[in-house]
Amino acid sequence: MSPSTPSRPGPSRGRTRRAVLARLLATTAALTLGAQFTTSFTAAQEVAPADLRMAWWGGEPRAVATRAALDLISAKYPGVTFTTEWSGFAGYFDKFATQVAGGNAPDIIQMNFAPELADYGSRGVLLDLGPYVASGKLDVSGFNEAALASGSVDGVLYALPLSGTTPATIINQTKFGALGLAEPPADWTWEDFAALAAEIPKAANGAYVGADDASARQEVYEVWYLGRTGTQLYNDAGERTDTVDDLAAWFQMWADMRAAGSIVQPDVQAAHTPGDNATMPFVLGRSAMTFQWSQGQTTLASLQPDDLGLALQPSAGEHPHQYVRPGNLISVTARSRNVDTAVAAVSAFVSDPEVLKVLGMTRGVPSSSQARALLEPTLTPIDQEQVAFIDKVSSGALTAAPSASFRGMLDVDQLFTRTGQDIAFGRVSIAEGAQRFLDQAADLLAR
Amino acid sequence: MTTPSAAGAHPAAPCPSAQARRWRQRHSASAFLMLSPWLIGLVVLTIGPMAMSLWLSFTNFDLLTAPDFVGARNYAYLLRDPRYAQSLWVTFIYVAVSVPLKLVVALALALLLAKASFGIGPYRAIFYLPSLLGGSVATAIVWRIVFGADGIFNVALGWFGIEGRSWISTPDTALSTLIALSVWQFGAPMVIFLAALKQIPADLYEAAAIDGAGPARMFFSITLPLLTPIVFFNLVLQVINAFQTFTPSYVISGGTGGPSDTTLLYSLYLYLEAFTKLRMGYASAMAWVLLAIIGVITAALFATSGRWVFYADKGDRT
């Protein structure tokens, strides 16, 4: 697949697939005629036929590319077919948990880094891939130590990272261009952010505001907190490390921006459910900046007409706040009835050159150096930006990616949203909201 | 069921009681056989899962690992879970406001549509239509759009110079949009009211008219008293339904119950606990408490019904 046309099957992809099929047919013919030479496709003989189910979340370009990649794998391994389950992220893991409980989980599953990987890994839902790596059935030659470590829980390899991602600020370049604003520098602070966000609605005559309201999103708060304190939000005992002062400072900063009209109004922000990108105020053209994972540039670009750019998240202090973590990973479920075939399919998914080309960057900047080397010659401008951004972040000062997984963390996450909304709508004061949050969070974590 | 006379039909039999037993056994066997599709369904799909959920409500089952017995801990936690209290509060308001409103609207429209006149059929169908669509995801999505920041509701308000907002995502109004959606689905009680209105004898109205009663007097002295059994029936059904409402709050709040948990209906919180946080034990406890709440309220409605529900045939007997 040509990455230049991620949203629809372009002509180049058709050619690639036809070429592969032609080569496949030629190889098969040669084998049937009794030719004795070894090709890369002799491996096909060792894979038992099966119908595999694969589930993933993501946008349409990813779905198109994934289906095409699975077609290639089917062609490579005769008798191996795929049933696909594609959805958005919202509800994805609700469905997966139910399927696991019902004993009909997909064989291959796109995994999320935190907290799901540790959660499902430690509960025995995911297959230990270590033995397959050792026996050479799973080709991980493209992954370095760090990449494999990011797919491991307590030293057991449960997943292979498909892409790396980092927290970013997504900039609407079209709007910035129209207003004659310069894009933020790499070392910008939250004061810079607030100043820029205040400038935008004035320059745009109120047609849109500076940014989405991220005050109720704990993952954005977390990055802010890392820069402010240099401490992870949860300690090893699973307790919060932040204080009322931290929370109050965060909410006050957003309250000031709200009062200045720099960010979208609370009711507009609350109409958006995280995970449902189409309802994001930024996507609806109501603001010029939002906070997202870096690959959000590509995902959101396909949902609205403007050009989107990337910036780091602003810093809140001296400490490094950016980190790189797997954007998504791929796992095999432990109770799959076709474990060997599923591992072979995953192996092809992460190492077969044709498959990697078809997948392109639809899952973000690949974690596999093999995939990156294959894709780099033909990257589109937006994909080049993605790669350059991850490289830039990786070469800067980094902090460890939050990977804690404790019971009750999801409750606390939802409590944070509720607290942020209560404050934004003026239902509770900042001081009271911050204190209530910490009290209730401690309760939920001790539950 | 067999009757004693069945045995008496064979007086010449040596042992009539044994034969009757065999006859009865044979017939009850075939009765059970005929009932079996329903019985199997009842046991496998209703009683079994209910028993299972009762057991699970005393465990910490998380879907993925085997359940451990934890006694009444789940029930105890309900008492000190602030989010559970919020969901109860939201649900009670939802039921207490939406059910009476819906019944009033249903009755008012039934009165309008009861007048037999040419071409009334299509109108009745049109008024019933929302109820056919009502519980669906599609309607909830439409509702989301209608009452959103750029929705047609705000456009309409704009004509009158009123500044709109995103009604579905403002804490003060979010629940009202859910209530409005519920009231809009007045079709089922309306149809029942319509049928009941047709049953009221016309001579009662004629007699009242001769005595000089106006339309309001006729409504409060004849129509409403004679409809009270139907009002009661609709009330009980709608209360039970309203307590179990899930789809609109899930769709309109994007599965969160937000903003600020103001649309967190009981069933939605139960769902979130069960399927996003995998606390099946806790969710099962919530389900049993909901059953108890609905049971108590229904019993209370029945207990008070003697005071305000008027059964015409009962009156005849005394």
Q: What chain B residue is nearest to A423 in terms of C-alpha separation?
A: B260
Element (H, E) at B176: helix B171-184
Residue contact A271–B63, C-beta within 8 A: no
Residue contact B64–A421, C-beta within 8 A: no
Regions of chain B where pLDDT drops below 70: 1-16, 116, 134-135, 313-318
Residue contact B259–A267, C-beta within 8 A: yes
More confident residue, A26 or A229: A229
Identify the CA nearest to A162 among candidates A180, A179, A147.
Answer: A147
What mean pLDDT comes out for the span A266-278? 86
Residue contact B82–A440, C-beta within 8 A: yes
Q: Hey, is the C-beta of B277 within 8 angstroms of any chain A C-beta? A: yes
Q: Hey, is the C-beta of A429 within 8 angstroms of any chain B C-beta? A: no
Q: In this predicted structure, what is the pLDDT of residue A213?
A: 96
- CB contacts under 8 A, B 113-142 vs A, are none
- CB contacts under 8 A, A 292-321 vs B, are none
- Mean pLDDT score of chain A, rounded to an integer? 87
DSSP state for residue A234 in the 8-state scheme:
B
How far is residue B33 from each of residues B25, B40, B127, measured CA to CA in Å?
12, 10, 43
Q: Using CA atoms, how far apart are residues B269 and B285, in angstroms rounded to an integer? A: 12
ipTM associated with this complex: 0.80
In chain A, pLDDT over 90 holds for what percent of residues? 69
Residue contact A418–B169, C-beta within 8 A: no
pTM: 0.82
Q: In this predicted structure, what is the pLDDT of residue A299?
A: 85
Residue A46 above 50 pLDDT? yes
Q: Using CA atoms, how far apart are residues A295 and B186, in angstroms rounded to an integer? A: 46
Q: In this predicted structure, what is the pLDDT of residue B187?
A: 87
How far is residue A140 from each of residues A137, A267, A324, measured CA to CA in Å?
9, 47, 20
Residue A224 above 90 pLDDT? yes
Q: Using CA atoms, how far apart are residues A170 and A176, in angstroms rounded to an integer? A: 12
A421 interaction partners in chain B (CB closer than 8 Å): 171, 258-260
| Facing residue for B254 by CB, picked from A276, A411, A421 | A276
Residue A55 pLDDT class (50, 70, 90 cuts): very high
Q: Hey, is the C-beta of B67 within 8 angstroms of any chain A C-beta? A: no
Residue A121 above 80 pLDDT? yes
Q: Quick: pLDDT tens for A187-199.
A: 899 999 999 999 9
Q: In this predicted structure, what is the pLDDT of residue A26?
A: 43
Identify the CA nearest to A289 among candidates A309, A260, A268, A259.
Answer: A309
Q: How many A/B residue pairs have CB atoms within 8 Å?
A: 76
Residue A35 above 60 pLDDT? no
Q: Using CA atoms, how far apart are residues B196 and B191, in angstroms rounded to an integer? A: 9
What one-letter code names the amino acid at B7? A
Give chain A's radius of gyration (CA, Å).
Answer: 23
Residue contact A427–B260, C-beta within 8 A: yes
Residue contact A270–B259, C-beta within 8 A: yes
Residue contact B255–A91, C-beta within 8 A: yes
Neighbours of B279 (CB within 10 A): 24
Q: Hey, is the C-beta of B49 within 8 angstroms of any chain A C-beta? A: no
User: Where do we find the tokens 């090893």?
Assistant: A236
A427 interaction partners in chain B (CB closer than 8 Å): 171, 260
Beta bridge partners of A331: A109
Q: What chain A residue is nearest to B76 in terms of C-alpha separation?
A: A447
Q: Are B156 and B243 in contact (CB under 8 A)?
A: no
For the CA atoms of A229, A232, A238, A240, the dihedral, rounded to the nearest 10 degrees, stands at 30
Q: Quick: pLDDT tens for A153-187.
A: 989 999 999 999 999 999 999 999 999 999 998 88
Q: In this predicted structure, what is the pLDDT of residue B15?
A: 61
Q: Helix, strand or coil for residue A84?
A: strand
Q: What chain A residue is nearest to B83 in terms of C-alpha separation?
A: A415
Q: Using CA atoms, how far apart are residues A117 and A132, in angstroms rounded to an integer? A: 19
Structure tokens belonging to residue B196: 């009941």
**Sign of dihedral through CA atoms B223, B228, B233, B239?**
positive
* Nearest chain A Cα distance for residue B170, angstroms: 5
Q: Are B53 and B281 in contact (CB under 8 A)?
A: no
Q: Using CA atoms, how far apart are residues B67 and B56, in angstroms rounded to an integer? A: 7
Residue A395 above 70 pLDDT? yes
Identify the CA nearest to A212 among candidates A297, A279, A150.
Answer: A279
Q: In this predicted structure, what is the pLDDT of residue B28?
A: 83
Residue contact A100–B82, C-beta within 8 A: no
Q: Quick: pLDDT tens for A132-159.
A: 999 999 999 999 988 999 999 989 999 9
Q: Using CA atoms, how far apart are residues A224 and A319, in angstroms rounded to an integer? A: 10
Q: In this predicted structure, what is the pLDDT of residue A89?
A: 86
Q: Quick: pLDDT tens for A354-378.
A: 999 999 998 989 999 999 999 999 8
